[in-house]
Structure 1
Amino acid sequence: MNMENTCPLCHLKGDADQQIIFENETCYFIQKESEQHVLEGSGLIIPKTHTETVFDLSAKQWSDSQQLLKKAKERLDELHSPDGYSVGWNTGETGGQSIPHAHLHVIPRYQDEPYAGKGIRYWIKQSNNARKMTK
C-alpha cells in the first residue's frame, strides 16, 4: 500500500482537530488543537509532499522549513511568551518517529512546567538508557 494514501500528515483536512497555521510553497506549520492543553503553542513543520525523513528533504524543503520555523517563533513569542524552545526531528521508529512523514517538532517551553530544563538531550544523559556494549 502506498503510504501517501494512509499518512495522516498527507491528509490534514481529514482531521478537523488539525489546523494549518502557516504555509509556504513546500511546507506547513500545523497545530493539533487537542494537544494545546499540555503543550501550549506546540506544532509541527511538515513538507506538503510525502517525505519520509528529515534526510530526504530537498534543499527547498529545508529552506521553507527554516522560513516557517522563524515565522512560527514570532507568532508563539507574541501569543504565549515562552521561556525557551525544544525543536527537533525524530527519525526512524527507534529514533521516536511514529509517523513516517518528516516533521519538525516546535515546542515552546515554560519555566513553570514539570519538565522545565529537560531538553531533547535528556534521555541521552540517563545512565539507565545506556546500551549494553559487546566486544
Structure 2
Amino acid sequence: MCVFCYPELEPKQRVRMSNEYCMFLQLEDAQSKGGQLEGAGLIVPRQHRETVFDLTKEEWMATYDLLQDVKDYLDRNHQPQGYNLGWNCGEVGGQHIFHAHFHVIPRYKDEPLTGKGIRYLFKGSMNRREVTE
C-alpha cells in the first residue's frame, strides 16, 4: 500500500492542508524549529499517479493553488528566506516512492549550504559522466 494514497500508514506523517485534488503532507520532524528540514513537505495528488508526467490538468492546477496556500502557511509559521521546489521522476531521477510528489523545501540564511540550489549537486565533479565513444 502506498503511504501517499493512505497517509495514515506513516504514523509521523500529517496532512497539513488539502484541496479536492491534492494534499500537503509533512512529517512531524518538519515542525522542529532549526531542524535540517524545518517546514519541508510534499504536495501529492490524491489519486495514485506514478510521476508528475501522469498528472491531469486539474491536478496541475490544484497543485499550483495548494502551493500558494502552503507558501503562505510556511511564511507565517517558519519565515524561510528562500525555497527549493522539485519533482524527482523515475529511479534514476531519485524517485523512491512511485507516487508523484512535489517537494517544497524552505531554505534559511543560516544553513551551511545557503545559496546552493538544486543544480549544485549535479554540477559537482562527483557527478561527471564518463565520456564514451
With the shorter chain as reference, the TM-score category is over 0.9
Alignment match, 1:31: 26
- Please give the secondary structure, in 2, of the residue aligned with 1:60: helix
Q: Provide the C-alpha distance between the structure 1 equivalents of 2:114 and 2:15, rounded to a whole number of angstroms.
A: 27
Q: 1:20 aligns with which of 6, 9, 15?
A: 15
Q: Deviations over 1:36-66 (max 9, x none)?
A: 4321100000000110001111001100000
1:43 aligns with 2:38: no
The alpha-carbon deviation at position 35 of structure 1 amounts to 4.3
Q: 2:3 aligns with which of 8, 12, 19?
A: 8
Q: Provide the C-alpha distance between the structure 2 equivalents of 1:105 and 1:39, rounded to a whole number of angstroms.
A: 11
Identity %, equivalent residues: 51
Q: Deviations over 1:57-100 (max 9, x none)?
A: 10011000001111100110111110100000011111111100
Q: Provide the C-alpha distance between the structure 2 equivalents of 1:95 and 1:16, rounded to a whole number of angstroms.
A: 27
Q: Provide the C-alpha distance between the structure 1 equivalents of 2:2 and 2:107, rounded to a whole number of angstroms.
A: 28
Q: Provide the C-alpha distance between the structure 2 equivalents of 1:129 and 1:15, rounded to a whole number of angstroms.
A: 33
Alignment match, 1:84: 82
TM-score with structure 2 setting the length = 0.93
Query: Across the two proteins, how many residue pairs are aligned to each other?
Result: 130
In 1, are the aligned partners of 2:29 and 2:38 still within 8 Å (CA)? no
**Unaligned 5+ runs, structure 2:** none
Q: 1:56 aligns with which of 41, 54, 57?
A: 54
- Please give the secondary structure, in 1, of the residue aligned with 2:69: helix
Alignment match, 1:99: 97
**Unaligned 5+ runs, structure 1:** 1-5
CA RMSD after TM alignment? 1.1
Counterpart amino acid of 1:134? T
